[in-house]
């Protein structure tokens, strides 16, 4: 029964006798089935007590799926404390041994908001710079915990404050956590590691207890997760890892590709490759294999279609002159196909790409949902700048005033804001007018008055520009002159920096959106209508998300827009880490392609309008890495025809290398 529906390689992995094993499981090759079958096989055939098997996943959903599948297979309720995510498993461990790190067993796990409040209190107590961002400091501390650096011996790499300062914050923060009998998310693993490494008696108990360790998505493990697993292994080395080095796309959040690449050598492990894909057709799998083959840092495998009955629909490759044409084509295509009751996914590299696509989906009244984040106009940075626009348009927009008065930080605290609000309500005037009158009446210190006056002058300047300039320039003026762009650009923490780079791209796309309107009132009305366009989630058949959010999912029809140099691969990623980032971008392309079951459509635009400039675009190098026979031969040339007509009178020698490359590419795939 357990082995009944498994192919040869899957069976080989499941019945593996003992010792370490790496199951290199390509996209759509049934890794969850193999992991659960392995668990069931150990219990049913090897007579292993299920309470001695640790099965680690990266999501609660995956953990519950394993429990459910194993329970159904064995006709036995499997409710082991050793099945779950790293954090859920070690949370239980920590409660048993909490006294070893100065905690009580009923400790509280703080959420992110409470963590930030505590960091803020610590910064205030230490009398450090009040402008020191608590979120930034907290991220730095969490990174250090993931790298197993304790507060008492840390070496800070924080660039915008002194080493001594971060040392003090981290140390006092950890002391305060113990004082209030609390931990943060990072402590669940760090405290557990500390207990195991410093208490050999406890470590030996668990090493003897755990007969087998099974790990899902092994390519996503970070330093502390890997070290914890190594600590718990006994002399039998019964570690069974399932993963795919070609789907390692989370380096930015600490995942170490080296963990899976070095596993065979470090553990002297056998490697079984699962290559039979049960999801996609040959053209899709060939394209994925051809792209990923250009990576050097991989263990290597090629996917093959397991079900030859699947219709081999070739990949559609579309070119357009602009992103607006591209977005319109996506919405129109889905609209014409929407009666077939299939699931659609639109996977983008940058969140900024979503705005134009959302707009077209709304115009076609197509129900959609954003996976892994809010809709474009609901994103924090977008709402912040729109608040500036609203206040500039109407000085009675009190909610906008409250949102942006200290954003970016101007040193205007809650006490000052409360004075403004009280005076406004007492006198039935707007917050902005209240501020003006209080400044005249000298109700604030000179320093506070100057800060408030600077803000008022900015809003008044914006108000004047509404009727004097186009919306595009108004948007750029606010983003730049408010200091918002500078605030995003100066971030030093690597994780936060990546988030802020995404926010910057979103703001540039906001400017693009504003350029489509002739006046501010119409634009603000459009934003309001878009935000009110809430679809019935039960009818969602279209999922819009980033490529990162798509990992582990599958869809009947997949659209991959924006396959242009600079967007995909991302220029900012390449600038950051060069070839290492290029390989991760290529793995991201592999993930995107392999989400498709029956139909895949890739598109690019020959020009994109960004922050007031119309930029010429070159097709992604990834497209050239795919053999042309995998593409539909009847490629739309909407974009290429415009480009060719635009350049037909130009001497070929006068064309830029980029334009030459574009025309050569179009000629190849026409």
Among 385, 524, 378, 518, which residue's Cα sits nearest to residue 459? 385
Q: Is 33 part of the annotated catalytic residue set?
A: no
Taking the C-alpha atoms of residue 402 and residue 412, their distance in angstroms, rounded to an integer, is 11
Q: Hey, what are 116's tokens?
A: 């930030």
Residues 306 and 334: beta-carbon distance below 8 Å = no
Among 584, 596, 586, which residue's Cα sits nearest to residue 220? 584
Q: Hey, what are 267's tokens?
A: 């553990």
Q: Is 247 part of the annotated catalytic residue set?
A: yes
Q: Is 230 part of the annotated catalytic residue set?
A: no
Long-range contacts of 67-73 (CB under 8 A, 24+ apart): 69/32, 69/36, 69/40, 70/36, 70/39, 70/40, 70/43, 73/1, 73/2, 73/36, 73/37, 73/40, 73/44
Among 258, 254, 215, which residue's Cα sits nearest to residue 233? 215
Q: What are the angstrom distances between the C-alpha of 596 and each of 274, 282, 331, 575?
A: 18, 11, 18, 30
Q: Hey, what are 74's tokens?
A: 């064995």
Q: Is the dihedral of CA 148, 154, 158, 159 positive or negative?
A: negative
Could you say which of 32, 51, 290, 637 is catalytic?
A: 32
Residues 431 and 421: beta-carbon distance below 8 Å = yes
Query: Residue 188 contacts by C-beta under 8 Å, 6 or more apart in sequence?
Result: 87, 90, 91, 94, 109
Taking the C-alpha atoms of residue 658 and residue 339, their distance in angstroms, rounded to an integer, is 41
Taking the C-alpha atoms of residue 29 and residue 249, their distance in angstroms, rounded to an integer, is 18
Q: Is 187 part of the annotated catalytic residue set?
A: no
- Which letter does DSSP use for residue 225 in this model? H
Residues 153 and 174: beta-carbon distance below 8 Å = no
Q: Hey, what are 487's tokens?
A: 């605030």
Could you say which of 29, 57, 85, 247 is catalytic?
A: 247
Q: What are the angstrom distances between the C-alpha of 592 and each of 142, 202, 341, 670?
A: 29, 44, 22, 24
- By CB atoms closer than 10 A (0-12, 13-18, 19+), residue 93 is buried
Residues 57 and 66: beta-carbon distance below 8 Å = yes
Helices in 310-349 by DSSP H: which ranges? 323-337
Could you say which of 31, 298, 390, 508 is catalytic?
A: 31
Could you say which of 73, 140, 217, 564 is catalytic?
A: 217
**Reduced to 3 states, what is the DSSP secondary structure of residue 572?**
helix
Could you say which of 595, 601, 608, 621 is catalytic?
A: 595
E strand or H helix at 525, and its extent?
helix 520-532
Residues taking part in catalysis: 31-32, 216-217, 247, 595
């Amino acid at each position: 029964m357990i082995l009944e529906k498994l192919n040869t390689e899957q069976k080989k992995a499941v019945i593996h006798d003992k010792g370490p094993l790496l199951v290199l499981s390509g996209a759509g090759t049934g890794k969850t089935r193999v992991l659960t079958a392995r668990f069931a096989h150990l219990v049913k055939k090897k007579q292993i007590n299920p309470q001695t098997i640790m099965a680690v996943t990266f999501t609660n959903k995956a953990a519950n799926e394993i429990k459910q599948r194993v329970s159904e297979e064995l006709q036995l309720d499997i409710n082991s404390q050793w099945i779950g995510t790293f954090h859920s498993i070690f949370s239980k461990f920590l409660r048993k041994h909490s006294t070893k790190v100065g905690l009580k067993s009923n400790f509280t796990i703080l959420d992110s908001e409470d963590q930030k409040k505590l960091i803020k209190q610590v910064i205030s107590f230490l009398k450090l710079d009040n402008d020191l961002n608590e979120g930034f400091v907290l991220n730095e501390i969490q990174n250090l915990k993931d790298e197993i650096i304790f507060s008492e011996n840390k070496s800070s790499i924080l660039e915008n404050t002194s080493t001594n300062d971060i040392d003090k914050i981290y140390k006092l923060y950890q002391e305060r956590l113990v004082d209030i009998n609390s931990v943060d998310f990072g402590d669940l693993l760090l405290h557990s590691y500390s207990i195991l490494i410093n208490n050999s008696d406890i470590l030996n108990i668990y090493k003897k207890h755990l007969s087998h360790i099974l790990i899902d998505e092994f390519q996503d493990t970070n330093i502390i997760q890997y070290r914890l697993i190594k600590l718990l292994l006994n002399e039998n080395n019964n570690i069974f890892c399932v993963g795919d080095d070609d789907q390692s796309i989370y380096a930015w959040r600490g995942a170490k590709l080296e963990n899976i690449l070095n596993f065979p050598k470090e553990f002297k492990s056998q490697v079984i490759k699962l290559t039979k894909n049960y999801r996609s057709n040959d053209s899709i799998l060939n394209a994925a294999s051809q792209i990923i083959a250009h990576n050097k840092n991989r263990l290597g495998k090629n996917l093959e279609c397991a079900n030859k009955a699947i219709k081999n629909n070739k990949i559609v490759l579309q070119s357009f002159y602009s992103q607006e044409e591209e977005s319109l084509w996506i919405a129109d295509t889905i609209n014409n196909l929407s009666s077939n009751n299939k699931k659609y996914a639109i996977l983008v590299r940058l969140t900024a790409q979503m705005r134009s696509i959302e707009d077209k989906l709304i115009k076609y009244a197509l129900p959609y949902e954003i996976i892994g984040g809010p809709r474009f106009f609901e994103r924090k940075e977008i709402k912040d700048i729109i608040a500036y626009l609203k206040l500039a348009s109407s000085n009675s927009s009190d909610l906008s005033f409250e949102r942006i008065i200290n954003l970016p930080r101007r040193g205007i605290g809650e006490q000052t804001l409360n004075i403004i609000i009280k005076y406004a309500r007492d006198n039935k005037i707007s917050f902005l007018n209240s501020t003006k009158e209080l400044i005249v009446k000298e109700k604030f210190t000179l320093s506070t008055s100057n800060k408030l006056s600077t803000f008022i002058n900015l809003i008044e300047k914006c108000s004047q520009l509404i009727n004097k300039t186009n919306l595009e320039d108004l948007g750029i003026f606010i983003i730049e002159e408010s200091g918002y762009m500078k605030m995003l650009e100066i971030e030093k923490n690597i994780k936060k920096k990546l988030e802020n780079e995404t926010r910057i791209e979103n703001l540039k796309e906001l400017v693009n959106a504003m350029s489509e309107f002739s006046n501010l009132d119409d634009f603000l009305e459009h934003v309001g209508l878009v935000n009110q366009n809430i679809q019935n989630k039960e009818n969602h058949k279209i999922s819009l998300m980033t490529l990162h959010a798509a990992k582990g999912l599958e869809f009947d029809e997949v659209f991959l827009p924006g396959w242009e140099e600079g967007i995909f691969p991302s220029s900012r990623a390449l600038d950051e880490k060069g070839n290492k980032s290029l390989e991760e971008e290529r793995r991201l392309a592999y993930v995107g392609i392999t989400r498709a079951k029956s139909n895949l459509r890739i598109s690019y635009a020959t020009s994109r309008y960004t922050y007031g400039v119309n930029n010429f675009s070159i097709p992604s190098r990834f497209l050239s890495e795919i053999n042309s026979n995998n593409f539909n031969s009847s490629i739309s040339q909407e974009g290429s025809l415009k480009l060719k007509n635009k350049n037909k009178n130009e001497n070929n020698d006068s064309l830029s290398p980029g334009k030459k490359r574009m025309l050569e590419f179009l000629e190849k795939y026409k």
